[in-house]
Amino acid sequence: MQFSSTNSQAYREGLHDGIPIGLGYFAVAFSLGIICRSSGFSVFQGFLASFLNNTSAGEFAAITLIGAGASYLEIAMVTLIANARYLLMSCALSQRFASDTPIIHRLGVAFAVTDELFGIAIARPGMLNPWYYYGAMSMAIPGWSSGTALGIIAGSQLPARIVSALSVALFGMFLAVIIPPARQSKVILAVILTSFAASFIASTWPALAAFSSGTRTIILTVAISTMAALLHPLKADAQFEEA
């Protein structure tokens, strides 16, 4: 299938939109690198782990368990739970591809479904050109993996305050993803505010607080998105209007 004559343009747009994500990942991965070093990872091992596992919460949990000497089963279960929300994101992304998109492109995009990459991809109007996603991946993955490697090199030499300050970049990326569409749609704004409030309540409500953050995210995502879809259904022509 030929997506369009502007695949190179879509790739460049992805590169452009992926720059802040890559920079944010690089900063946040520093703290992951420090954890990797304390868990006995070499620079190459940490780089490879982050290159092949593009996830923050899941990798943080896995590396911590490895350092604690956990079993393979425990590591697998915790990683599965922490990353389960990406199953939902992958389902949503699959609906944004043209029906005849080759499986190779679907698998290529599936390699790096992260919160930030999903956010910029799902916010684009019309059908998703996988080359846009590849462009964003080209900035995000090197930022995450190289940040981890350099964090291992830096080790515990960085003061805790600096590591904490660098981690704030991740929240900045989330804001950059959600603020533009929220300014354009009152429905999206209401969903975002509802998500914030529900997430806080879920973290303090005993019935849900016992679950992991990943499991709570899945429960809230399904519940809030279902309510939004029922109360404010999106017309097909508005969803797939040409960019």
Residue closest to 33 by CA, chosen among 132, 200, 167, 220: 167
The pLDDT, as a whole number, for residue 238 is 46
d(CA 48, CA 82): 20
> pTM to 2 decimals?
0.68
The pLDDT, as a whole number, for residue 117 is 92
Residue 119, Cβ density class (10 Å: 0-12 exposed, 13-18 middle, ≥19 buried): middle
User: Residue 130 corresponds to which tokens in the numbers above?
Assistant: 């996988």
User: Residue 237 corresponds to which tokens in the numbers above?
Assistant: 């022509």
User: Residue 242 corresponds to which tokens in the numbers above?
Assistant: 């040409």
The pLDDT, as a whole number, for residue 108 is 92
| Side chain identity at residue 127, one-letter code | M
The pLDDT, as a whole number, for residue 204 is 86
The pLDDT, as a whole number, for residue 141 is 94
Ordered alpha helix ranges (H), the chain: 7-38, 43-52, 57-67, 72-82, 85-94, 103-110, 115-122, 130-154, 160-184, 186-204, 206-209, 213-231, 236-239
The pLDDT, as a whole number, for residue 237 is 43
Which residues, given as ranges, of the chain have pLDDT below 50? Answer: 1-2, 4, 236-243
Length in residues, the chain: 243
The pLDDT, as a whole number, for residue 165 is 63
| Side chain identity at residue 222, one-letter code | V
d(CA 17, CA 135): 8
The pLDDT, as a whole number, for residue 171 is 65
User: Residue 134 corresponds to which tokens in the numbers above?
Assistant: 């590849």
d(CA 57, CA 64): 11
